[in-house]
Structure 1
Amino acid sequence: MKRNLLILTITVMLSTTVSGKIIKRQLSIFQNSVPETETLARGTMEFVYDYRCCIDTTNIIEDNISSDNMLLQIGPDGLSKFSSYKNLTVDSLLMRSSQEQIANAALEGKLSNGEFMTIYKNYPAGRLTHTEKICQDWFSYDEDMPCFDWELMDSVINVLGYECQSAKCMFRGREWTVFYTEDIPLADGPWKLHGLPGLIMRASDEKGHYTFECIGIKSKADRPITIYKVPFNKVKRSDYYDTKHRYEVNPYAYFEATTGGHITVSDETGNIQLDAYDPIELPFDYIELDWKK
């Protein structure tokens, strides 16, 4: 189902550290429609994860931690989907609201998007598909289901009442430590992580730049596992990262180059920021560190 909306709003914000260095530029665009979806299967179980990533690894404080709640939907034949719970909520709100209600919700900040990264495991069978929206465009790439050379460890913790054993491995430049429970016999987990004899309940890289922790479980679910029916730009994984990087070092220039639009960026006092279109150096790196190769 597709719902046309009246609203198309662009919000820009410059974020700075205490030293005055710009660490992130944000470009939020409220779309004028909710994409149609295709149902892949009915989900059978759902797990909510608190996802956190550090957007300034030179100064790891709470203000520099970006977070979102992510939903892991489990389907038949190993199919699963890992996506933003906030985006599902926003889509639902848009579909059942009047245009006036939508406009009011936007003004109240209730239509802010979550993480656009979506990971499908075993879609298609034996493959992993990553979809993501970058600026106004949708991208996707697929790859063989990644192999993780897990080393089982001795540490044990409790997550949501489940006893969890630990394991670690190197994957694409980061060392991951995870905690999984055999009480939930699913060889799945957040993001691309999988392959243990139980659900991965907590995961973090060695520096704490990326973390996932299960905070909610629905053992019986029938929410459909869907995918947007949009014209994906199908690319290689390396090309996806190149595009994402080009956008994040200068979202305003990327927006202008790909849409023909123009953005005037002003500070809080209304002064035009003449250097807003200059590229910046990102003070963080992506979850997979091999993207530059």
Structure 2
Amino acid sequence: MKTSLMTGLCFALSLQAFAQNPDQALARVKYSFVHVKDTTQKNNPYTENMLLVIGKNASVYTSLDRLNRKLVDDGKAKPEPTAPNAPFKPVSFQDYYFFVKENLFFIKEKIYNEYLAEENAPKINWTTTKDTASFSGIACKKATAYFKGRNWIAWYAPELPFQSGPWKLNGLPGLIVEAYDDKQQVQFHFAGMDKVTEANTNSDSFFYEKDIKLPKDAKRTDMKEYNRIKEFSVKDPIGFASAMTGTDRKNIRMGVSMTGIAGPTVTNNPIELPEKK
């Protein structure tokens, strides 16, 4: 199965001209995400199943748990019988788009409205090594880098010539299959990969269509404005709701969040840490 997948992907890459936006989706990669958000609770890390959809030029990284929950809510899939509390499990609400040729990076998030924030793709100064490893039969090489306040170790697959990876990790001469920081506080573990075919392409979800493309209805903004909006929504949720809806503050009633948790979870250890000066 692994050999046929590699052959099919390489064949698709050799035939496809340098992609424009939108880009043809060639494969979907699953990751198990582990994050020690609260360093006082190291034995109880946050976990989530994630999905990276990749093409020759573009990729999008999103929450697989969120996608599956929406399919269940829309009646297009059945809930997992082993996950009775799944509707209340926190999920990530950011989607990350990366376009290699254009050197552009986008974050999409719904904060009352859907916002699409644009910035230049983050530059990661990777150092490649001679170390090798295999993950689910995929031969990988090791690379290290200091990025967003952490020392990262990444394992990439030269035989899969995609420059993408989970989250904001990218820029290696091969798909990033595994990645983690040197303290093992943030980890992305490879959990499988499928070639995109007509049989598994459908319109049930934006992320299962045949192309990778930016959402049309999201409000375009820059990172500065996006961060300002996000900070406002977290620091003063009632004031934010009032500003967005035009409703007087005293008439705003804040209920339980859609993650099933009232208020923000404890995070004293975000993925992005202050850069060393």
- The runs of 5 or more residues in structure 2 that have no matched partner are 1-20, 202-207, 257-261
Alignment correspondent of 2:109: 132
Say if 1:127 and 1:144, in contact at 8 Å, map to a contact too: yes
What is the aligned counterpart of 1:49 among 31, 41, 58? 31
Give, in whole Å, the separation in 2 of the partners of 1:220 and 1:67.
26
Give, in whole Å, the separation in 2 of the partners of 1:49 and 1:258.
35
Matched, 1:67 2:47: yes
> Aligned letter for 2:152?
W
> Aligned letter for 2:178?
R
- The runs of 5 or more residues in structure 1 that have no matched partner are 1-38, 266-275
CA RMSD across the alignment: 3.6
Percent of residue pairs identical: 26
Matched, 1:288 2:272: yes
Alignment correspondent of 1:263: 254
Matches within 5 A, 1:124-273: 125-134=102-111, 136-221=112-197, 222=201, 223-224=208-209, 225=212, 227-232=214-219, 234-236=221-223, 238-248=224-234, 255=241, 258-259=244-245, 260=249, 261-263=252-254
Aligned length: 231
Deviation at 1:85, TM superposition (A): 1.2
> Aligned letter for 1:195?
G
Say if 1:84 and 1:116, in contact at 8 Å, map to a contact too: yes
Say if 1:139 and 1:233, in contact at 8 Å, map to a contact too: yes
Change (3 A) 1:47 1:231: closer
Deviation at 1:129, TM superposition (A): 0.8
Say if 1:48 and 1:69, in contact at 8 Å, map to a contact too: yes
Change (3 A) 1:233 1:50: same
SS at match of 1:58: helix
Give, in whole Å, the separation in 2 of the partners of 1:232 and 1:124.
23
Give, in whole Å, the separation in 2 of the partners of 1:109 and 1:255.
28
Deviation at 1:240, TM superposition (A): 3.4
Say if 1:45 and 1:75, in contact at 8 Å, map to a contact too: yes
Say if 1:255 and 1:262, in contact at 8 Å, map to a contact too: no
When normalised by structure 2's length, the TM-score is: 0.69
Deviation at 1:44, TM superposition (A): 1.2
Matched, 1:115 2:92: yes
Superposed CA deviations along residues 220-255 of structure 1, whole A, max 9, x for unmatched, are 44432354444426232x443454445446656755
Looking at secondary structure, tell me which structure has more strand per residue: 1
Give, in whole Å, the separation in 1 of the partners of 2:221 and 2:144.
32
Give, in whole Å, the separation in 2 of the partners of 1:167 and 1:126.
21
Say if 1:123 and 1:129, in contact at 8 Å, map to a contact too: no
SS at match of 1:125: coil
Change (3 A) 1:144 1:244: same
Matched, 1:80 2:59: yes
Give, in whole Å, the separation in 1 of the partners of 2:265 and 2:54.
38
Deviation at 1:283, TM superposition (A): 4.2
Superposed CA deviations along residues 166-191 of structure 1, whole A, max 9, x for unmatched, are 11111232221111121222222111
> Aligned letter for 1:263?
M
Give, in whole Å, the separation in 1 of the partners of 2:179 and 2:100.
23
